[in-house]
Amino acid sequence: MRVPMSVLKLVVRVPVLLVSGVLALMVLVVLPPALGLLGFVGGGAALGVLAAGGLEGPAVRLLTRTRKATEGERAVLAPVLAAVGGTGMPEVTLYVRRAPRAATPPAMVIGKSSLVVTPWLIEATYRGWITREEAAAVVLHAAGRHRAGRHRVELAVLAASTPWRAVSAVARGVGRPFAWFPFMRFAWSLRGFVAAVAVVQSAVEGRAVYGAIAGVFVALTYLVPAAGRARDRRLEVEADHLVVIRGLGEVLAGLLRRSAVPVRLERLQRLENRLPARPVPVLQLAAFSPN
């Protein structure tokens, strides 16, 4: 049974937004009443403006920790963007990440007209570590993921989930020194069994509501990551087909082979057009030039 993309997006987003809302309210209630009310009204207004498509530039720079590309950086990527030929956006503003992590994708399209790239993509293109066609395939793949995801209020959702992402970053930093303990991973793998025992015990003791809440929370730790992986795989397939349609599939496959990132054999075959192609809507690509 194929789960609709809209359902996968809801499963991934709704728990994160609910937790972020609770965390934000916890902070607002401890503030003085005037500041709490101002923060609530101001935050709601800002989310409304972002959902309507306003303040995209400042929001992209703040939420993705980027800066506007310099003239030299835009000059390096100008031939690449010309080779791409467009992503459906009339004009693109180019941003460069300030401190990308190892798992950060080289290129990402966000909002209505923003292209975020890593310094590596610019340097690799300039120094000839990758060809312009390979850089164009990377950018085109990012545009395909964005269009396949049908993001409508992307920046508003990203801003609303900031509390959750902040808490997650702190938790990862605190838990990283203990992650190598075998017992920690073993205990985490048994969370489903522990939750089932807690639910049964709570029901026997007459506290079924609390047990159900704990059970739902633990179930989400399985469901949300699984939905996220399924969504990412589907977006990857759609983006790969767009790259193949534009004639850059083998180019991207060659770049992936040279990279240190493990790539599934099925994906390489898909990019090289060795698997039966399924119909996908051809994107109407407009002029693509950096601003």
Looking at the chain, the whole-number percentage of residues with pLDDT higher than 70 is: 89
Taking residues 265-270, report their average pLDDT. Answer: 88
User: Mean pLDDT, to the nearest integer, of 9-38?
Assistant: 89
Tell me the C-alpha to C-alpha distance, in Å, between residue 133 and each of 53, 83, 289. 32, 7, 16
CA dihedral 128, 130, 94, 283 (to 10 degrees): 140
Over the stretch 206-237, which tens digit does the pLDDT of each residue have? 887 888 888 888 888 888 889 989 999 999 99
| Nearest one of 78, 104, 100, 103 to 91, comparing CA atoms | 78
Q: Which residues of 250-275 are buried (b: 16+ CB within 10 A; e: fewer)?
A: bbbbbbbeeeeeeeeeebbebbeeee
pLDDT at residue 119 is higher than 90: yes
The predicted structure's pLDDT at residue 137: 93
Q: Residues 146-189: pLDDT tens digits?
A: 888 877 788 999 999 999 888 888 877 776 776 666 676 777 77
- Going by pLDDT thresholds of 50, 70 and 90, the confidence category of residue 7 is confident
User: What CA–CA distance (Å, rounded) separates 44 from 265?
Assistant: 46
pLDDT, tens digit, 9 for 90 and up, residues 70-94: 999 999 999 888 888 754 444 788 9
Region of poorest pLDDT, from 47-61, 65-79, 106-120, 178-192:
178-192
Per-residue pLDDT at 290: 52
The pair of structure tokens assigned to 234 is 């589907």
Query: For residues 59 and 75, what is the distance between their CA atoms, to the nearest angstrom?
Result: 24
